[in-house]
Chains A and B, each alone.
Chain A
């Protein structure tokens, strides 16, 4: 396991009466692409601003490369930020924008010119030195914002929803661009987004947050396939979340029917939440299924059909490439590996409780 570059220790932050982060602990490894993912107001941007130095936590420490930087102002931190909506200096041309940090550090002109060339090449905008920011498209401005940050050779690049203002196609292109940049630069990226697809595409590690608490930390596969609670399952992709009972190890009762599963250690006859992804629900002939149902809705989505199947009082969301018209009686089958069992929160508080990695 590589080196921990940033350590957030017991970070607490509130604005007035509103608790934004509550006793948060998180470490970020060197060279990692870490994404803070969550709905608005979950504390992800505040976390980023605390790392960047634009907010001071009420309690807790920020350790960077072994040193406590909690009270160090942003201009003395060895990290750079790419802000929401670019935040370019509109009274300067592109070259001056990129040179800003280097000039302040007193680098030579030759060095700065080299760096500008290198950075523009890296973001595929060679020859844009003399252009003004206003004359560039959103995607181009975003690349300049990235170029302006990386010429300073930060150890960590903080990105605050950098693709939020771009349209879908451009956003997808920029996602690949960012992955390429990260690999070429070999530095740590901390990325904030509310877009789960973006997070799944780019990250090495995803930190799912809600209401100031970390809900789950893991690789995109872990987050998607093995969500630890109903919030994560619901936030990441579509899912069927059903309150069920764990009969014994490897056997769960869902909506009155018994399904084989692979999870153990929940105890006998314990209430649990079950997550089944819509693409993992198999529709078969009624007599072959574990439970029977009737197709109630059907939408063509391009890659697959999205269907809703009413079975045992629950509306199952199903993605399938085969078509079952509305009104068809079907059986529902689920492979034991595709049934994800989660502990049921006993109270609201526990749902929001911090989880150790």
Chain B
């Protein structure tokens, strides 16, 4: 009994935090999303997603975040395998190198890319010096994908790496012992056993990529509007909290779907690295 009381006391800051910064804002989003300027109930803010410019922003956001997620997966999986197979403490150092940029501010990192990619930016100066054609990807979807992959890659590597590390080496040995070559062992054993990590990596890259507006602002030059940019503009420029909340609720549906998928595949919480 005493312990229970103590436990709930210890948990109270967290509960307060949740109420103040998660529950109340959510209720406000739902309230604004489901009302018009006069406070009357309406679904218009939600159905507004079907407007051509919103559909376009949502489609581009889905497409770019999907492409980024696939690229992240393709880059992260081999790397995670190499790291997991390293002996001793070498892998820890390399994992640290990958996590290190995450200690820097997200905004700064993206701004850095803007400077690097600019028409007269560092990369183009070097290319010019080498008499190579300039790289003109700033303010294109390619730059946005680059920014997404760069920013979210560690979130893909870590869960896959964690899951791979947990596979008993003898399970791999057993597959080989039973006649499977390296390729068969990978397809039949390693890959299926690492699915929880893959799924949670996908969620951790896809969700922030889908909702980002900073990367598209800085690297897309506000020419390419993602759904995140539309929502941001509704809140900050058009001052239309109702429409912004309504569109956010639509976006939440996609996030909830990907979280459900994660929960189904990752029952043991193996992939939840962060």
Contacts and interface: CB of A to CB of B under 8 A. Distances in A.
Contact of B189 (A73, A84, A89, A152): A89
Contacts of B259: none
A84 B177 contact: no
Interface string A75-87: 1000011011101
B177 A74 contact: yes
Contacts of A81: 173-174, 177
A321 interface: no
A105 B184 CA distance: 12
A52 interface: yes
Contacts, number: 62
A75 B171 contact: no
Interface residues of B, number: 17
Contacts of A145: 174
B178 interface: yes
B243 to A, nearest CB: 46
A74 B168 CA distance: 17
Nearest to A99: B178
A83 B170 contact: yes
B189 A85 contact: no
B37 interface: no
Contacts of B179: 75, 101, 104-105, 152
B89 interface: no
Interface in B161-200: 168, 170-171, 173-181, 184, 188-189, 192-193
Contacts of A88: 171, 174
A85 B168 contact: yes
Most chain A C-beta atoms within 10 Å of own C-beta, residue among B171, B174, B177: B177
A290 interface: no
6 contacts: A53-B176, A75-B180, A85-B170, A87-B168, A87-B170, A101-B179
Interface of A: 52-54, 73-75, 80-81, 83-85, 87-91, 100-101, 104-105, 145, 148-149, 152
Interface of B: 168, 170-171, 173-181, 184, 188-189, 192-193
